[in-house]
Amino acid sequence: MKWLWLGWLLCALTAGLFGWIFIVEIPPVSAMIGGMELPDQVPFGYDEEGARALFAAFKADHAAAQANGRTSASQAYLILHAGNDLILLVLLAASLGFCAFAALAKPAQHSQIPRLAVVGFGLVLALAFAYLASDFMENSVADAMFGPEALALPFRQHLAFVLQVLTRSKFVSLAVAVILIAALWLWRLKRRRRDTRPKIEA
């Protein structure tokens, strides 16, 4: 299919934006809070103790930023979630779906797509949606815990567990989707080898 290049362009844009966020935008925010990792960088999520320490780091930086008249890490974190990170989670979910679809596209002549491969494609779509929902809700909970307004309140202990669950859900759904996509492409490679193998006439 000639239009598949649009999907690969989408994947390239997703990879570029991912690199930009994690190489350019996140490190300065992390540096302002003493080098602590943001929830987006912790695959297993922060437990209550870790979330409390992160809250304290955000709060200390916010107070220093107000005294010096600069943008705080808390404000920068909210800006990130409302900007490029919001775009990234949509692009990444779409890229997962495309990569799974591309593995099934352009079947060889007289070749049928097995039901198991179709089921795998459906699972990738479901996992991509799960990732999208988890990441979006994770950002919302993180903003409610570490945003400038939240720093004026006591630490919200009840949200720490919710944030950890959403972070783990995001990374697990993403990892399983990638594994399934790899399996689909492996199946595609084997199918192509089988269909292009010269037939021996009796």
Going from the C-alpha of 167 to that of each of 25, 140, 174, 191, the distances in angstroms are 19, 12, 11, 36
pLDDT score for 202: 44
- Domain assignment present for residue 176? The answer is yes
Q: What is the pLDDT, as a whole number, of residue 40? A: 87
pLDDT in tens, 106-126: 655 546 778 888 899 999 999
Question: Residue 177: its pLDDT value, please?
Answer: 97
- Structure confidence at residue 4 (pLDDT): 83
- Residue 199 falls inside a structural domain: no
Give per-residue pLDDT as tens, 116-154: 888 999 999 999 999 999 999 999 999 999 999 999 999
| In a domain? residue 16 | yes
pLDDT at 93: 97
Q: Residue 37: inside a domain, yes or no? A: yes
Residue 32 lies in a domain: yes
Query: Which portions of the chain are predicted below pLDDT 50?
Result: 110, 202
Indicate whether 198 belongs to any domain: no
- Number of domains the chain is built from: 1
Residue 54 to residue 110: CA distance in whole angstroms: 58
Is 93 a domain residue? yes
Domain span holding position 154 = 4-193
Q: Does residue 202 form part of some domain?
A: no
